[in-house]
Structure 1
Amino acid sequence: MTNKLTELFKNKPKNLLNIFFTAGYPQLEDTHTLLDALENSKVDLIEIGIPFSDPLADGPTIQDSSKIALENGMSIEKLFLQLENHTPKTPLLLMGYLNPVMQYGFEAFCKKCKEVGVDGIIIPDLPMHIYQAEFKEVFEKYNISNIFLVTPHTSERRIREIDTNSTGFIYAVSSASTTGSKTEFSAATDYLGKLREMNLHTPILTGFNIKNKQNFQDACSYVHGAIIGSEFIRQITDVEDISKAAKKYIQSIKS
């Protein structure tokens, strides 16, 4: 499988910065503004969250952004309309839960992702056996990478199964808590060290509790890169200019 995501890992195998934001937050039409700001800031990947009323893996910050985005009128249909008018230069990921994707229609969802330039999908509550039996061929048909999550409680056997079935990267959750918790990133270093020692074939990005340049650098010393979500949402909340705030924050990470 070759798409912008897999090409990225071939050309830049380390120090990758993935920024997450919630579609439709702070305002419904801010998707374009944030995409442009992040691409101009030269982030390596952009992950857009599809707001959902019951986001199991998300902490209060992202939950609140999802709630506001839904109130603003964001939906999968609306997000696809927004992305139709944007030609992505950076590998683009969508993160969403299985229920709304199934309501949209799984193959229709993947087909539309392909049409608007999405390279990978993260569905935290998609079971491996269902992926293998029902959806793997659909992902492959539309050249979409499926990204699985692992946690400190994931068994080595399960991690190796995920490694075998991954076509993009493995999302290593740095703690068993929800995103944006107050757990210090340093608590994840033993876990990330163990993942590194497993010599997996698939690149690894770690997320949850990456807040600043030091966290980012620490993460990249263990795995291929880091994902920043909750902290980025905080940085664009209650500001006059979200584009300026986004660029300033990315500069603080990359400088």
Structure 2
Amino acid sequence: MKKLIAYITTAYPDKEFTIDLIHSLKENGVDGIELGIPFSDPVADGEIIQEVNKRALQNGYKINDTFYVSEKTGNIIDTYWMGYFNNFYHKGYDFMIEKAKEYNIKGFIIPDLPYEEAIEYENKFPLISFVAPTDSLDRIKTILQNPKEFIYLVAYAGITGSDKKEDLSNIIKYIKEIISTPLYIGFGVNENTAREKAKNVDGVIVGSTFVKVLLEDISNTEKIKKISQKAKIIKESIND
């Protein structure tokens, strides 16, 4: 069965909401959580996730909120901390590893840490490898020398939340030929695109289509219900 990883921003509108949302997502077929650490300059993310990051920070988000949520949910669903390297560097990378192990976190997803710099850190704790359509086959082979947990295939060059399309068939075929680590595709995955994007890969990573619900003027209960319904539709569509 193909997997569904859901990105959500920690502690927006508050940390108890995030905990309740994670429980609901698990009940509706989500296999893993990409728990976003709010940051002031999320360069890989589009306007939707940028706005929620900004609001979380304005609400007083602190890294302890991520620890709090992870303590409550890390043992019920595979969880990955997604953040920009500044988040990890500021607190101390070894300290973040220590806390991640305490809360059963499966790995880190750091989109602004290039492979050449990631080498220094990848043997300390699982660090998810990114592959982009702009990477040459030689570079892909180099990046995938020591993959952890899963490989994050970026669906297009750009930022999250866009609706671009690129032919990834050759890249997917090449990756599958050289490695058996699960391959998940992210960027631009929603209810309408998930089935097509999931072809020939092992799962999808969905973010903006969930996070944009957080910006809607509806109750928290309705937000959880709406996001969970989207997750259920996506999980079913990728496994039809």
Q: Do they superpose with TM above 0.5?
A: yes
Matched-pair contact (CA < 8 Å) for 1:28–1:72: no
The aligned counterpart of 1:65 is 52
Q: Distance in 1 between matches of 2:203 and 2:97?
A: 26
2:99 matches 1:121: no
Name the one with the larger helix percent: 1
Counterpart amino acid of residue 122 in structure 2 = K
Q: Distance in 1 between matches of 2:106 and 2:227?
A: 23
Q: Distance in 1 between matches of 2:71 and 2:187?
A: 30
Q: Measure how far apart 1:28 and its partner are.
A: 4.2
Q: Distance in 1 between matches of 2:163 and 2:114?
A: 28
Q: Measure how far apart 1:38 and its partner are.
A: 1.0
Match of 1:217 among 189, 195, 214: 195
The aligned counterpart of 2:172 is 196
Match of 1:169 among 129, 137, 150: 150
The TM-score with structure 2 as length reference comes to 0.89
Q: Distance in 2 between matches of 1:181 and 1:45?
A: 22
Q: Which moved more, 1:117-126 or 1:58-67?
A: 117-126
SS at match of 2:122: helix
Alignment coverage as a number of residue pairs: 230
The aligned counterpart of 1:47 is 34
2:223 matches 1:205: no
Identity %: 34
Q: Note the residue ranges of structure 2 that are not aligned, 5 or more in a row.
A: none
Q: Distance in 1 between matches of 2:228 and 2:75?
A: 18
- Deviations along 1:173-230, one digit per CA (max 9) or x if unpaired, are 11111000132xxx23x22x11222123122111111111x42221221211111100
Counterpart amino acid of residue 112 in structure 1 = K
| Structure-to-structure mapping, 1:1-255, within 5 angstroms | 14-132=1-119, 134-139=120-125, 145-183=126-164, 187-188=165-166, 190-191=167-168, 193-198=169-174, 199-201=177-179, 202-212=181-191, 214-238=192-216, 239-240=218-219, 241=221, 242-255=223-236
* Pairwise CA RMSD: 1.6
Q: Measure how far apart 1:254 and its partner are.
A: 2.9
Q: Distance in 2 between matches of 1:84 and 1:28?
A: 12
Matched-pair contact (CA < 8 Å) for 1:28–1:69: no
Distance 1:82 1:17, change over 3 A: closer
